[in-house]
Each structure stands twice: as C-alpha cells, then as structure tokens.
C-alpha cells in the first residue's frame, strides 16, 4: 500500500484550514521550506546582537541609533519650515493677481509652462519669461524679509 501525503492548508475562499492530498515531491518541498524557515529563525536568534550591547554614550543614551532618528520630525525643523511657508505665502500675497495665478498654476497645480501658455493663448516663452521675473521678485521679497 502506497503512503498518502496530506498538507493542512488555508483555503482563502472558505477562510478555513483543510487537508489536501499531494504528491511525495510536493510534500517534501513544502516540509523542506518549513524546516528552512525554522532553522533560519533559530540561526538568527543564535547570532542576534543584544540590544543592551548597543546602548552607549553618556547616561545610557542611544547614540548608536542616530540613523533611526527622523530629523524632519524635529520640532525646530517643523517650526522653521512653518515659518518659511508663512514668509513665502506673505511674499506671494504681494504679487499681482496674474502673477499669483501663474505661480499657483506652475508650482502648486504642477501645470507645465506649455499647458498654461495654451490656456492663456500665449507662447510658452512668454510664460517662461514671466515666471523668471516673478521668481526674482519673490526672491527679493524674501531677501528683504517681506
């Protein structure tokens, strides 16, 4: 009598585990994969670096983990960005309505110079020149501290 091989697999349709008959080769490959995962997990834990070994610096600080610190979430950086955004908004408010529309279309709505030019019925070069003049104007506003 030939041996039957069965695996207990999860049926995603029914949401339940069920026994499935498989060939000897499929059974061995499946089991080998499971054994490898188990062996790899054991090997990982055997060679795992203990967290306490990595603690260093003054008063047990976690200086070795500086690569994990998100510098963008630093309150100083957040407030600096908000201040810059507020200053930029103030500078943009000093522009004429046509200049503001152009800046909003190109930089906030991500329109191309060509598509904005077509919308206005002018050449792309005209929009490019206006954009350059406006950016110089904004730069001067920002340098002068609005």
**pTM of full prediction above 0.75:** no
Residue 135: is its pLDDT beyond 80? Answer: yes
Rounded Cα–Cα distance for residues 73 and 63 (Å): 17
Residue 88 pLDDT grade (very low, low, confident, very high; cuts 50, 70, 90): confident
Residue 10: is its pLDDT beyond 90? Answer: no
Find all residues with CB under 8 Å of 3, minimum gap 6, and list them.
Answer: 24
Q: In this predicted model, what pLDDT tens digit does every residue of 23-71 receive, in sequence order? A: 888 888 877 776 555 555 555 555 555 444 444 445 545 444 555 555 6
Residue 110: is its pLDDT beyond 60? Answer: yes
- Take residue 9 and report the two structure tokens written for it: 């697999």
Rounded Cα–Cα distance for residues 20 and 106 (Å): 60
- Topology (CATH level 3) of domain 72-143: Arc Repressor Mutant, subunit A (1.10.10)
Q: What pLDDT is recorded for position 96?
A: 94
* Domain chopping of the chain, boundaries: 5-48, 72-143
């Amino acid at each position: 009598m030939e041996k039957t091989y069965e695996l207990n697999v999860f049926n995603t349709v029914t949401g339940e585990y069920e026994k499935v008959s498989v060939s000897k080769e499929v059974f061995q490959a499946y089991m080998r994969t499971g054994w490898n995962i188990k062996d790899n997990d054991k090997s990982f834990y055997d060679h795992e670096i203990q967290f306490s070994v990595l603690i260093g610096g003054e008063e047990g600080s976690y200086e070795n983990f500086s690569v994990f610190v998100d510098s963008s979430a630093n309150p100083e950086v957040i407030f600096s960005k908000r201040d810059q955004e507020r200053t930029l908004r103030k500078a943009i408010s000093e522009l004429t309505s046509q200049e503001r529309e152009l800046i909003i279309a190109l930089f906030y709505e991500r329109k191309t110079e060509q598509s904005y030019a077509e919308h206005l019925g002018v050449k792309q070069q005209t929009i490019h020149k206006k954009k350059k003049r406006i950016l110089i104007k904004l730069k001067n506003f920002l340098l002068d501290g609005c």
